[in-house]
Amino acid sequence: MIECVPNVSEGRDPALLARFAGALRVTPGVTLMNVHADPDHHRSVYSFFGDPEAVETSMLALAEAVLEAVDLRRHRGQHPRLGALDVVPFVPLAGMGMDEAVALAHRVGQAIAKRHRLPVYYYGHAAIRAARRRLPDVRGRGYEALAERLRGGDPPDAGPARFDPRAGAVLVGARDILVAFNVWLDRDDVMAAQAIARAVRESGGGLPAVQALGMRLASRNLAQVSMNLLDYRVTPIPVAFDRVCAEAAKRGIAILRAELVGVAPRAAFAGRTPASVGLIDFSPELLLDTHLPAREPSG
């Protein structure tokens, strides 16, 4: 089993979101676990898994649908992005190693580059250049700087060094399980959210294996601390949540709620209940464990 978690630069059009989900469901043997869309980020995240061949087929069908429909020339959202089909990570689950996930990432990247004539960059374990290991480093200054980047001698890993203003570029990677976890503040104070994010993330001297950004959710009149927990065994959800709460309290700010983007393994909660980390409308469908086939007991 392998999981794929493509991030698409569209989070507002229900018809498009349904069309993309439909592209994934066509292939037998694929389970679509979750679709998370956010209008302020203007981004959707599709979490699905299956055997490698089925996942590869489904991902290429999704790429076809997304690159036909999404036009970055009209896209404005809070989340950083480099392309219409922005990020395509592969995550090995049962019975697969990271080397197999890397091989799959490279096959899919090559296929997208050839079929759509787009620049593709590899990141994570699939990176073929050390400087492109971290996703923020590969994304760089994003879509707005992509044309200059391609002209300036920073060639993609696959595909042409050609700027397509409609589609941008695609980031394809292989990684371990990542937990995307957002905490909403009870006020519209993006400066405070950014300060909290700086205090929480590893690069600012905060929690290990945590990336964080402060963002404004204009449609909700709120600010958010958006986090990627790169290794939930090192920093589980409760540790990240408690640190955000503590940093917010220093500034006289309360926490409204939290949200998961996609699914998370049960172990990421480190024995705490979802409600204790702000997930007020949590359901078992948000647990990765719920979807995976039960293993046969050893004899």
Active site residues: 79
Angle between helices 52-69 and 14-25 (to 10 degrees): 150
In whole angstroms, give the CA distance from residue 85 to residue 143. Answer: 12
DSSP state, 183?
Answer: E
Per-position DSSP letters for 63-103, written without gaps between them: HHHHHHH--GGG---SS--SBSEEEEEEEE-TT--HHHHHH
Contact criterion met (CB below 8 Å) for 55 and 18? no
